[in-house]
Structure formats: structure tokens, C-alpha cells
Structure 1
Amino acid sequence: MTPVEAVVWDFDGTLASRPDMWCAAIAEAIHLCGGPPEVTAADFEETAYLHLPWHSPTLGHAFQSSSAEWWEGFLSRVQPLVAAVTGEAAMDVKRFGATVRSIILDPRRYSKIPGSTRAVDALHRRGVLQFVLSNHVPELAGIVSYLFPNRFEEVWTSGQLGVEKPRAEAFHHALDRIGRAPATVLMVGDDVRRDLEPAARLGMRTLHVEDMASTRRGDWL
């Protein structure tokens, strides 16, 4: 079997976890901005994620030129939802947006997944090139660097690329940057539709994060 020369990791649910990230961040920001204390993350579970760009992967970003524009575009769509839930249409939008952003970007709120962390360290010791490709905020590289210092060559996020997985453009970008044959590049993720199927269509090798423990280490590590 052709040896693995590079590994591309998904982030959320693969390298790190943060349950109810967006809903919890929105609720916490409401409290910090003086909104109703009875508001909880559960109030947004049915609708908040519909406002995230990667839930419409067929659409490119209209606000991809800077991280500030990404956040402005996202929060402009979330603010009406917040107003409907809290009844606080007059809430300071600028302060609320800055608060949500600071909560999401706090790397201390993410938990590394133990099995993946061990694999990342083992691959690093072997000198295998490692990258991150994620549907995430533009500033994900800072979070990854905090959690996994000096482990990844590059971090690519939909907030910068302007397209989300499973769009083929995201994977083409990764392969172009890596500069290796697809058959020598392994994609590791937790989502078959967004991570593994599109990678396989381009000839990349794939591994579901839940299968790492049961897969022979020689097959990929």
C-alpha cells in the first residue's frame, strides 16, 4: 500500500470538541450584554445552526474577504433570531457581536479528543505532514495553534476559503497546497458526507475518526 505522506484533519468532532458551541455562546453573550437571564442555549437549538454558512454548502460566502466581514455577515443573520427570543430588539448589536466572537475564539473552551491527540503526536514524531481543513470561523488557526502547538503545517477554514465541505473546491485547495498525490493523502473526519465521501471522490484515502482505534496502525500511522 502507498505510504501516507500527509494527513488532513477535520477539527470539530475530530480533533477537538465543544458541545453546543454556537447556541451556548449566543446565550452566554446575551447574559453578558444584559439580556434576560432565563435565556438558555436550548432556546436556539432548533434555529441557530440554520444561520451558519456551512449549513448551505452549495452557496459561496458573500463576505469572505476578511474575518471582520465574515463575522458581520454571520451576526447580521443571527441578530433577528436573538431579538425574537429575548424581546430585546434594542440590545447593543456591536457589543453582542464582539462578545459572541470572543467566546467562540477562546481556545480554552475546546477539549482535545484524546485518541486524535495521540495520533497527531505520533504522526509528528514520524515527520508526516499534517493539516486541518474545517468548516469554521476565519480565525481557527489560532485555536489550533493553542491546542496543538507546532503540529500542523497549515489550517484551512471555510471562513477564509469562502466555501464549505463537502464542496470539492475545499479539497482541491488542500491538495494543491499539499503538493502530494491524492493517494498519499489521508483525510480524517467524523462526518462521512462532509469529510470522507468528497475526499474519496478525489482519490484521497479516508478514515473515520471512530475507526482509528480498530484500524491497523500500519495502514495509516
Structure 2
Amino acid sequence: MKGVLFDFSGTLFRVESTESWLRAGLAARGIRLAEGEVARLAGQLEEAGALPGGASPRRVPPELGELWQRRDESAALHRAAYLGLSRQVPLPEPDLHEVLYERHMAPEAWRPYPDALEVLERLRAAGVARGVVSNIGWDLRPVFRAHGLDAHVDTYTLSFEHEAQKPDARLFRVACAGLGLAPAELLMVGDDRRADGGAAALGCAVHFVDHLPVAERPGALRAVLAHLD
């Protein structure tokens, strides 16, 4: 193994809970609601799948079906898809949907898994190249910088910058080229069997982790280090 490609959401980082996300948006707008109302709205937003990186929609409205399938191919598609889901839930102010969308891109909305920095540091020390390949509609680099992980990442391959999303082999080819390595020299680490598993079609080894809350997954990434032996 000469290089490792990591997914972002659910692999190296986890987004805040839907309730925390909603509370941050309400605070930004100076809106106060009863605790029961906050919990009710958070539950509806979670069921709608309105928080990028959070729970998947329980049901995608038919009018958003095609958009949802292509949501990570551009920033505009991503915004439209998630605002479309969010607007299925009536909120106290109409512009709160936009506030919430902006909030999910803030570094403070994300937490790295406890072992993420350790694993990246040890791979770097061992001379193993490190890349991030993500289905996403916005620039996640500020999140890595804010949490001190950016120095340990050699290259980022983001779907919205290439108009292709995993499991499309085109995105993995760009990621491999970015590290200057052949697919057979790389390990892909992710939480999505379908999307991240697409790297196997190119010849990459693949390792999966579970998309769990940060406190419930303290050391799963350390298994990647076994590939150094």
C-alpha cells in the first residue's frame, strides 16, 4: 500500500446532530422556540433528510427525484436538492432554510473522529500518500484546516469540482492521478458500500467503516494501519 484515499462524511468527520444544527440556525436568527417545538422540528428535518451528511431522507419527493440523484455533481445542484428537502418542513421564518444550509458548511458543524488525526499522522510518517475523495457540493478544505487535519492530506478530489460523483470511476481516476499512484497501490476507506465501493472496479483495495456518532466510534480508523504491515 503506497496511498490511502479517505471519504469525508462518516469516515474522517461526522456532522453535528440535526437538533444541534437547528439550534445553531435558530440562534443565528435570534429565534426562540419552546423545547418541545425544537424537538418536533428537528425530528421533521431529520425525517426529510435535510441535513447534508446526516440521515438519508425517509422519502424523496418525486419532484426532487432526478435532482437528488445528481446532487453532488455541482454546488448549485447540491444546494437545490437540500433546500428542496428542507422546505418540506415549515420553519418559523422562510429564510431559515438558507441559514441552515450555510450552517452545515461551517467547520464548527463538523467533528473529526477521535482517531482521524492519529491515523493520518502515522500514515504520513510511514511515507504513505493520503487523499480525500468525497461526494459533496461545497469546498470542505476549510473544515480540515480548522480542525488541524489539512497538513496531513496531500490532495482533495471533490465531486462538485469534477461533475462526477462516486461510484463513477472517473472520480476515482482523478483521485489516483492526484496522488500519482496506480489504483492497485491504493486503499479506499469509506462508509458507503455503493459509493466508496466503486473504487474496487478500478483495482483499489477497499476498507469500510460504520457511519456512527463520534462518541460511538473511537478507533475504527486504526484498522487502516494494519495495511502498513
Give the corresponding residue for 1:109: 109
Give the corresponding residue for 1:157: 158
Aligned residues: 202
* 2:119 counterpart letter in structure 1: A
Change (3 A) 1:92 1:63: farther
Give the corresponding residue for 2:191: 190
Give the corresponding residue for 2:177: 176
5+ residue gaps, structure 1: none
Deviations 1:163-208 (A, max 9, x none): 332232321221233331111011111222221x211111001222
Please give the root-mean-square deviation of Cα atoms over the aligned residues, in Å. Answer: 3.2
Structure 1 window deviating more from structure 2 (126-135 vs 165-174): it is: 165-174
1:166 counterpart SS class: coil
* 2:135 counterpart letter in structure 1: N
2:195 counterpart SS class: helix
Change (3 A) 1:158 1:24: farther
Distance, in Å, in 2 between the alignment partners of 1:188 and 1:62 is 19
Distance, in Å, in 2 between the alignment partners of 1:115 and 1:79 is 32
1:138 counterpart SS class: coil
Change (3 A) 1:96 1:145: same
1:220 aligns with 2:228: yes
1:193 counterpart SS class: coil
Query: Does the 8 Å CA contact 2:87/2:97 hold for their aligned counterparts?
Result: no
Distance, in Å, in 2 between the alignment partners of 1:146 and 1:106 is 10
**Dislocated runs of 4+, deviation >3 Å:** 30-37, 55-63, 69-72, 209-216
Structure 1 window deviating more from structure 2 (134-143 vs 37-46): it is: 37-46
Give the corresponding residue for 1:45: 46
Deviations 1:25-68 (A, max 9, x none): 246425643375513321212212437xxx9799435972xx4x
5+ residue gaps, structure 2: 50-55, 211-219
Change (3 A) 1:63 1:199: closer
Change (3 A) 1:202 1:57: farther
* 2:89 counterpart letter in structure 1: V
2:136 counterpart SS class: coil
Change (3 A) 1:36 1:15: same
Query: Does the 8 Å CA contact 1:14/1:190 hold for their aligned counterparts?
Result: yes
Change (3 A) 1:32 1:129: same
Change (3 A) 1:102 1:46: closer
TM-score of the superposition, structure 2-length normalised? Answer: 0.71
* 1:133 counterpart letter in structure 2: V
Alpha-carbon shift at residue 140 of structure 1 (Å): 0.7
Query: Does the 8 Å CA contact 2:3/2:185 hold for their aligned counterparts?
Result: yes
Deviations 1:130-167 (A, max 9, x none): 11111234121111222203111222223333333223
Distance, in Å, in 2 between the alignment partners of 1:62 and 1:193 is 15
Query: Does the 8 Å CA contact 1:9/1:133 hold for their aligned counterparts?
Result: yes
1:25 aligns with 2:25: no
